[in-house]
Structure 1
Amino acid sequence: MRTRSALIATGVTLALVTGGAATSAYASVPAPGPAPAGTALAPAAAVADTTPAIVSAANAFLATLTAAQKTAVQFAWTNTTQKKKWSNLPQGLYTRSGLMWGNLTTAQQNAWLAVMQATLSPAGYQRVRQEWAADDKLVSGGGLLYGQKYYWIALIGTPSTTTPWQWQWGGHHVTVNATVSGTEVALYPSFIGAQPASYTGSTGTTVKPLGDLWSSAYALVSSLTTAQKPKAVLGSTYIDLLYGPGQDSRAPSYDGIAGSALTAAQKTLLLTLISGYGTLANAEDAASRLAEVQATLDQTYFAWYGPTTNAGSAYFRVTGPRVIIEYSPQAMGGTAANHIHGIYRDPQNDYGAAITG
């Protein structure tokens, strides 16, 4: 079992979203609601190893498949090509392997969602569902296919509580790569984006899947002093991702303002931003994940490109020994910042490099 480290650094405390996996089936999952909160205001309690639940859910999913479907969805652990086969491009521009969501029965879809619920936190699961649902707002055409049906599932290796394996799910603008090894789970790299970035849900409410992430980043850049801001704000217009699909070997770029140059209050704001990504995982794995990040917070940098107003049209990046986060708004169809590219990586643990030996 992993050690339950106290998540405390000098002058800074870190809070986590906690809670067990949701149990709703796909047919009864409500339409995406308001964006999830990034952090709770209470420390995380120690929780049991979640790997057995993830493995049980994965095996239950496999049990719903036909022999042909099992062959299509399962890949050898040694298949490094499939491990890294993901993209934010829509169907029609990128060919994925595995099983397509729209070709599964309702029972099979429910079984797969149970895998995601066991692996992710309730807030992380909700965020992913909101990003996913956004794709239904786009119109297919010109050979490009949009919608929730065009997402793909792959299992690399055999679900196990002891030996490493990976589940992979994704499509246009959201991908999760989850490597499971013993008690450890690594969710890197994952693509955390959305198009549209804001839409009306089935209940009539406005849904912003990444709205809390933007708010956290804006709070941090707004807190910077006149002397600090030039170190963090490196350009007047947004840039696109540096660490997106196909950039697995790119070395971290430590640009911007270092955590060591922030006040205690500003470090808390930086941790709040990072925890919006770190708590994508279930409570157990989020706790140890955020402890890793906090231990290297002074060597973690925050960079910003674009206006420092709350227009949502700026790029930000967090780069440290244990984390890379990027958020890049794109202008599409005349609407600024309604198309978000985003990435979440761990330079030491992408595809579970640090936990699989």
Structure 2
Amino acid sequence: MNPAQRMTDAATAWLDRLDGEQRAAAQFPWPSEEERRRWYYTPTDHGGLALAGMRAAQQSLAMQLLAAGMSRAGFVTASTIIGLENVLDQADGWNVGWERERGRDPQLYWLRVFGEPGMDRPWSWRFGGHHVSVQHLILDGTVQAGTPCFLGADPAESPLLGGHLLRPLGAAEDLARDLVRSLDDAQAGRAVISPAAPVDIVGGNRSEIRDGDRLIPLPDVWRGEFRDPRLRERLAAAHDEAERKAGFGPEHHEAVALTTVPKGVPGADLTASQQEMLRALLDVFIGRIPEELAEREAAKFAGDRIGGVHFAWAGGVERGQPHYYRLQGPRLLAEYDNTQRDVNHVHTVWRDPGGDFGADVLARHLAAAHVPPAW
């Protein structure tokens, strides 16, 4: 069974188990473009029906849809991240509210379907909550888009029994550090774009990436306005303090701003062994989706095409130092950041700047059908 069929069957099974009130929150008509292109990675309302509003059997069906949209490793990683909400609640002293009854809550992950699931019509779905955002577009019986795809971890590493560490996104850190350390002086001179790291991914939760985009202040990566202005003030102060601790000033904002022409060292200027390191790092991002879809994405960078992927780094290269990197190339923007909570809070995102949310394939589909857009 192909991924589109698995998603269609899982979404249909979930929707069929909902009552009328639940379904009204869970399903929006197609295309609901403004809402469909909203996405978040903060502990805010992501839109849809939350796990907390489902019965146990319904929760299981919701997680089956999430699993249908991820690889086995991706689903395990996402499930671990959701479980970390309990650990984070303890780290916060059990008292961070975020204007909801429990600030860190593994039940506050939302699922929403746009349109009617089927192999003969366009539809999409989105699963999201703190540090997880997964979405897919199905069109003509094929999964046409799976970005933006966000995974984060707070804490990035936690103690396990026996002296082991839980690091859900450890490979994204270790492989990149190995690559940047392997660079010679000339390569590093191009790859390191700033001595200080931004305190978040630069693209933030924008629906569309544009040339010149800069870091979004933390209070703005939320749905709507806070009822209590003190919460916004606290978030703004936390953002400013994080930048101060990272030594990140106005000149660094300019250095790490997103540009259409990629910054960093191109894969074409790397040695064969370094290109393999770059490819392994890229696989950490695209490998989070189902294997068949990940293979399709990997083929875009097979052989000499890895030469078009640029690697850019900001911050220190030693463990425990704030750091950030991005991979950018044709139809690719992958970002990683680890600066917050004393460098123990990771954000990662994989995007297709030309086709996030399937914007490109939907435009071609409408043009071919001579149908004016409904949005």
Q: TM-score, structure 1 length as denominator?
A: 0.80
User: Over aligned residues, Cα RMSD in angstroms?
Assistant: 2.0
Q: Which residue of 1 is the match for residue 229 of structure 2?
A: none
Residue 352 of structure 2 is aligned to residue 346 of structure 1: yes
CA offsets per residue over residues 289-326 of structure 1, 9 Å max, x none? 11123374222211000112233631011111121111
Secondary structure (helix, strand or coil) at the match of 2:319 reads coil
**Greater relative contact order structure (CA < 8 Å, 6+ sep):** 1
Provide the rounded CA distance (Å) in 2 between the counterparts of 1:308 and 1:279. 25
Q: Which residue of 2 is the match for residue 305 of structure 1?
A: 314
Instruction: Pick from 207, 223, 236 the counterpart of residue 182 of structure 2.
Output: 223
Q: Which residue of 2 is the match for residue 25 of structure 1?
A: none
Q: Which residue of 2 is the match for residue 273 of structure 1?
A: 281
Paired amino acid for 1:75:
F
How does 1:1-357 map onto structure 2 within 5 Å?
A: 49-91=2-44, 95-139=45-89, 140-144=94-98, 145-181=103-139, 182-200=141-159, 206-239=165-198, 240-246=200-206, 248-251=208-211, 253=259, 254-294=262-302, 296-311=305-320, 313-332=322-341, 336-356=342-362, 357=365
The runs of 5 or more residues in structure 2 that have no matched partner are: 212-257, 366-375
Secondary structure (helix, strand or coil) at the match of 1:184 reads strand
Provide the rounded CA distance (Å) in 1 between the counterparts of 2:163 and 2:115. 42
Secondary structure (helix, strand or coil) at the match of 2:5 reads helix
Secondary structure (helix, strand or coil) at the match of 2:300 reads helix
Measured at CA, do residues 133 and 312 of structure 1 come closer, stay the same or move farther in structure 2, by a change above 3 Å?
A: farther
Paired amino acid for 1:342:
T
1:342 deviates by: 2.1
Report the identity percentage.
Answer: 30
Measured at CA, do residues 312 and 291 of structure 1 come closer, stay the same or move farther in structure 2, by a change above 3 Å?
A: farther
Provide the rounded CA distance (Å) in 1 between the counterparts of 2:295 and 2:114. 25
Provide the rounded CA distance (Å) in 2 between the counterparts of 1:211 and 1:163. 39
1:97 deviates by: 2.1
Provide the rounded CA distance (Å) in 2 between the counterparts of 1:89 and 1:261. 37
Secondary structure (helix, strand or coil) at the match of 1:149 reads coil
- Bigger CA drift: 158-167 or 135-144? 135-144
Provide the rounded CA distance (Å) in 1 between the counterparts of 2:280 and 2:65. 27
1:203 deviates by: 9.7
Provide the rounded CA distance (Å) in 2 between the counterparts of 1:69 and 1:281. 27
Answer whether contact 1:51 1:184 (CA < 8 A) is retained: yes
Provide the rounded CA distance (Å) in 1 between the counterparts of 2:3 and 2:279. 24
1:180 deviates by: 2.1
Provide the rounded CA distance (Å) in 1 between the counterparts of 2:63 and 2:135. 15
Secondary structure (helix, strand or coil) at the match of 2:176 reads helix
1:259 deviates by: 1.3
Q: TM-score, structure 2 length as denominator?
A: 0.76
1:49 deviates by: 2.3
1:197 deviates by: 0.9
Provide the rounded CA distance (Å) in 2 between the counterparts of 1:200 and 1:152. 28
1:89 deviates by: 2.1
Paired amino acid for 1:104:
M
1:273 deviates by: 0.5
Answer whether contact 1:257 1:303 (CA < 8 A) is retained: yes
1:103 deviates by: 1.7
Provide the rounded CA distance (Å) in 2 between the counterparts of 1:134 and 1:249. 29
The runs of 5 or more residues in structure 1 that have no matched partner are: 1-47
Secondary structure (helix, strand or coil) at the match of 2:360 reads coil
- Bigger CA drift: 175-184 or 282-291? 175-184
1:163 deviates by: 2.1
Answer whether contact 1:185 1:285 (CA < 8 A) is retained: no
Provide the rounded CA distance (Å) in 2 between the counterparts of 1:293 and 1:128. 25
Measured at CA, do residues 108 and 81 of structure 1 come closer, stay the same or move farther in structure 2, by a change above 3 Å?
A: same
Bigger share in helix: 2
Provide the rounded CA distance (Å) in 2 between the counterparts of 1:214 and 1:282. 22
Answer whether contact 2:338 2:344 (CA < 8 A) is retained: yes
1:151 deviates by: 1.2
Tell me the matched-pair count.
Answer: 304
